[in-house]
Structure 1
Amino acid sequence: MSELPVLASERLVLRPHRLADFERLAAMWSHPVVVTHFGGKPFNREDSWNRLLRYAGHWQLMGYGMWAVTRPGEDVHLGDVGFLHGERSGVAPFGCPEAAWAFHPEAQGQGYASEAVACALEWADTRFDRTVAMINPGNAASIGVARRCGFAIYGEATYRAEPVGLWERPRPA
């Protein structure tokens, strides 16, 4: 596969994940605030390791994936943003990439998620006709990000015994 893309917005850099990101990634996914709307149970190190490998594998197999979000010149993992293909039990396939994002608690509430998602969507708009997002209806912050980035709800589903909203964003004309 060719070199993976690095994107930049006004305050952020979106770059491929590195092995050096693992400790921060594991800390983020084990934090109760982060996992509140992802089933509520903190992920262990093995789960986080598998997540990091899944991120790398998406780029290899699908040609798209997740980026590590950092600030220019700092290279400290603030969160994950990008696109994935999930084969989930109980949720019909979307037929297009799914947008996803999560940030460390100290990086929340600063507009980073909206900025990073918008940056990733600019990249996606050159490749995909549509993107979707699956969001827990209690996750007001992520719903706000989705709305600010042009997503609209189009349905509901149940995933792992929890309700989820299905959001979509067609590529702008």
Structure 2
Amino acid sequence: MIETDRLVLRRHGEDDFDALHALWSDPLVIAHVGGVPLGREQVWHRLLRYIGHWAVRGYGMWVVETRDGAFVGDVGIFEGRRGLGPRFDSAPEVGWVLSPAAWGRGYATEAVLGALGWIEATHGIDRTVCLIESGHRPSIHVAERAGFAHYDAAEYKGEAIVLMERRRPAAGG
């Protein structure tokens, strides 16, 4: 578990299924993440993938909640093996998806920075990557605030994306 100033990041469990389904079936949420709301079966498979990634890699996605227990969304670090070239596929990928009620509050940046601090401290990972739909300015802004820099553009599943990377800040910097 990770605690930030306003948030708690914890591993997913079976009890998170309904909140995940509400998140991943919301048309506003998925507009920049594939564009198609996920059904119950797809969300169940996603939940199992989240849990399994931890078993295989020792890191993965977290549930993001406010300190009073309100569900905010997902954030985490994973291996997507997306076939976007060695520069992208050689590093763990950072991802975040928050519910519309949480947008505009700085929660995404806070959660991403919490996850990055944890993975860097516990796994010694120096470089992470992310991909974002090229027109999704709010997510690009979150990535930039978390220290990611644009290094390329590509197409993924028919969508124009930007590829970004982050290197662990030097000690004391």
Residue of structure 2 equivalent to 1:164: 161
1:59-114 Cα offsets, whole Å, 9 max, x none, are 1111110000011232x3210001111122x5225211100000011111111101
CA-atom RMSD, angstroms?
Answer: 1.1
Distance 2:45 2:113 in 1: 26
Is 1:91 the counterpart of 2:84? The answer is yes
Number of residue pairs matched by the alignment: 166
1:80 to 74, 79, 83: 74
Which has the larger share of helix? 2
4+ aligned runs moved over 6 Å, structure 1: none
Sequence identity, in percent? 49
Residue of structure 2 equivalent to 1:70: 65
TM-score (norm: length of structure 1): 0.92
Residue of structure 2 equivalent to 1:36: 31
Residue of structure 2 equivalent to 1:128: 125
Q: Where in structure 2 are the equivalents of 1:134-173 lying within 5 Å?
A: 134-173=131-170
Q: Which one-letter code corresponds to 2:147 in the other structure?
A: G
- List gaps (5 residues or longer) in structure 2: none
Distance 1:123 1:28 in 2: 24
Q: Which one-letter code corresponds to 1:28 in the other structure?
A: L
- List gaps (5 residues or longer) in structure 1: 1-5
1:107 to 102, 115, 118: 102
Q: Where in structure 2 are the equivalents of 1:12-51 lying within 5 Å?
A: 12-51=7-46
